[in-house]
């Protein structure tokens, strides 16, 4: 995760903050995810472009969500990873196995697959009323990296477009 940083980060995290998030979501987070969040609690990435070789347009990560820490406001606010996860799962927008940690400018999510560790792009505006919620959730997902670390390492500067 060299040459990567997040600007305008939230409050510094403690181990208890990450432990609380893991307890709330019912999954352990990858070490690379925790390491980044201990350095910078969310923020605007210096390298923000996801370029794939499968014909999709480049995607830009606008903002990494913060992990809630004591004194940072309401933990259920969707600016925080846990609050966003809770609300999106309750509304069945995302399956409980995806953790939205970042967004693009259109409000779509970059999610950590809590089962495989992969990073998925999740388009929230693709809902079709003629198919089931489960089918909608599957259709909204696109794998963009096999791990969080490879996702971060693969982000590019704008000049790379």
Residue with tokens 């940072």: 72
C-alpha gyration radius of the chain = 15
State residue 103's pLDDT score.
95
Tens of pLDDT along the chain (161 residues) come to 578 989 998 889 999 999 999 999 999 999 999 999 999 999 999 998 888 877 778 889 999 999 987 766 666 768 889 999 999 999 888 899 999 999 999 889 999 999 999 999 988 877 777 777 677 676 668 889 999 999 999 899 875 55
State residue 66's pLDDT score.
92
- Residue 116 and residue 17: Cα distance in Å, rounded? 23
DSSP annotation string for 68-87: P-TTSS-TTSTTBHHHHHHH
Question: What are the b/e assignments for 38-72, b being 16+ CB within 10 Å?
Answer: eebbbbebebbbbeeeeeeeebbbbbbbbbbbeeb
State residue 119's pLDDT score.
96
State residue 125's pLDDT score.
77
Q: List the alpha helices (DSSP H) in 103-147.
A: 133-139
State residue 3's pLDDT score.
85
Q: List the structure tokens of 83.
A: 């609050």
| Secondary structure of residue 109 in the 3-state scheme | strand
Of 159, 125, 157, 152, the C-alpha closest to 64 is 152
């Amino acid at each position: 995760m060299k040459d990567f940083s997040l600007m305008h980060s939230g409050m510094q995290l403690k181990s208890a903050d990450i432990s609380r998030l893991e307890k709330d979501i019912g999954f352990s987070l990858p070490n690379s995810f925790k390491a980044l969040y201990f350095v910078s609690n969310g923020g605007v990435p210096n390298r923000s472009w996801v370029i794939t070789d499968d014909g999709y347009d480049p995607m830009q990560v606008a903002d990494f969500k913060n992990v809630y820490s004591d004194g940072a406001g309401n933990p259920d606010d969707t600016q925080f990873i846990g609050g966003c996860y809770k609300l999106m799962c309750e509304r069945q927008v995302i399956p409980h196995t995806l953790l939205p940690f970042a967004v693009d400018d259109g409000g779509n999510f970059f999610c950590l697959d809590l089962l495989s560790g992969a990073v998925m792009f999740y388009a929230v505006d693709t809902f079709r009323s003629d198919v089931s919620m489960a089918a909608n959730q599957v259709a909204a997902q696109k794998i963009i990296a096999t791990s969080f670390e490879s996702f971060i390492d693969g982000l590019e500067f704008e000049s790379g477009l």
